Chain A
Amino acid sequence: MTTPTDDQRRVRVVLVDDHRMFRTGVQAEIGATEETGVEVVGEAADVDQAVAVVTATRPEVVLLDVHLPGGGGVEVLRRCAALSADPDRPVRFLALSVSDAAEDVIGVIRGGARGYVTKTITGPDLVNSIFRVREGDAVFSPRLAGFVLDAFASTDAPPVDEDLDRLTQREREVLRLIARGYAYKEIAKQLFISVKTVESHVSAVLRKLQLSNRHELTRWATARRLV
């Protein structure tokens, strides 16, 4: 990397949403590359288009709508799994949806998205989230943190539990603060840890949510009549 600063400041993004109006709006909000550093390199309106565009452009971050014609965001994630697993130039997915229903949120996170924000997010926050996801960190909206806490609430076990599926006390604390609307920086200040540590806690939560605790999640979802 000869020009690390320049590389750090630019992020290539693909927009996936079936509403042209919405894509235009997001483009207008974040697409001014000189100011925000976000370069929108492609757009797609359904699953097939999305897979084609993402494969062709290899963006760093994909802003993915949850409800799409052709199978939804989860389908895109499934068909792009190889791209997002690429160790050299991974494609990260950030779900951007109008829905904050639990089944949508948990569905795409388990599908492999690195974060979930709702469409009420402001432009600067969205840009911020895109950069954070590019770095491999997780972005949780307060609501999402609430869902995760809810999902793991039934396993309120001691933190010394050997079961890796459980959230540690610290991770739970971090999630609580996110759910209370704290920014990562504020959480770090509150808990006397570094921002990096906060981010690694959040990533750990994401990993657990994605890969494990199927049993608890199923039970949780069944109790809420989601499945």
Chain B
Amino acid sequence: MTGRHVAVVDLGYGDAGKGTVVDWFCATRPVEAVIRFNGGGQAAHNVVLPDGRAHTFAQFGAGTFHGVRTHLSRFVVVDPLALAGEATHLAALGVPDALDLVTVDREALLATPYHRAANQAREIARGADRHGSCGMGVGESMSYALAHPDTAPRVGDCLDPGLLRHRLTLLRDRLSAELGPLDAPPVADTVTAFTAFAQRVSIVDGSWTTRLLHAGPVVFEGAQGVLLDEWHGFHPYTTWSTTTFGNVDTLLSEAGMPGAVTRLGVLRVVTPRHGPGPLVTEDPTLRPPERHNGTNAWQGRFRFGHFDAVAHRYALDVTGGVDALALTHLDLVGAHRLQLCGGYDWTDRLPTGPPGDLDRQAALTARLLASRPRYAADPEPEPAAWVDAVRDALGVPVWLTSHGPTAADKVTRLTAAAGR
């Protein structure tokens, strides 16, 4: 790993193990900070410590257990209420000062109870056609900001209760006019809580990222997965977030360090998907134990498919490739009949297109929903052979393997991946 910094991105539909990989980085090497560069409070990156303590990292970076600070960049949708809930849980696990480790860019959008209520009202109205939203209001916040860029509530507004009250009232009234009364607390209550957030957490400007990047090695922790990307994902089963390396590249360029990063793509030996949307390799008989994810009211079922090299190849294509892979859940190899899908019945490689052509993406989705997987002849019974099979299928070296939930279960395999 020769890049000064590391960016950890999921090349599937999320849930591959970004959290455990980031935790391992922070446990084993000096890390200045973890920077989040997309998504928001709906992220759920599970980290398990060797002593059994476990936490689902949503807005705190997955290095928090090791005292590594978190920076929420302007690309993150910040949910102050969920941040408090998460901090409370971290305190119960023996990290009493987690909030001291957080900095937030004042330009970041806020996710509020009004976005959340609107998000849930829409998802309920979709009925059987759900998109797999997490019900946290992240996408709602992004779409509101697109429609009302100048009045969308942002983190910096929490420093000015009058302005915040005004913007939240406007938001609530606009969403209510569209959707009817929202099931959300009064604006004054939200102002109180958000103001307390601003008094407690360090709110910084854009130069902070530059400062961190010059101070030492930074781990960029992605959220969700490339296949859910707002522009390249399989529309409409996508997220309102850029899940590629795009925002990482932007932040590095702004800091005058373009390309100073090793890109690490995370994959599981199976391809999971939480909620609706294409999963070509889905196999209902494939039911490995799933410690962290279950069915929930908003996203629906947690589904498993065999390793879908076609879909992951597409992720590599749209995000411009990675330097190395981290392959997780190798402990499943041998315990379950795992297969590797190297091609579909009509192609081995999905066509990419210009970002933002949603009609094209929707047509691709329709195509995927009708695709059949073609599996390699024999499932590999050995972890090592699996690692080689993944490397060969994707043409990328596997640099890190994970054989269990903790940092102690990780093994590095190469002396170096090609740095940038």
Task: Specify whether A and B are partners.
Answer: no
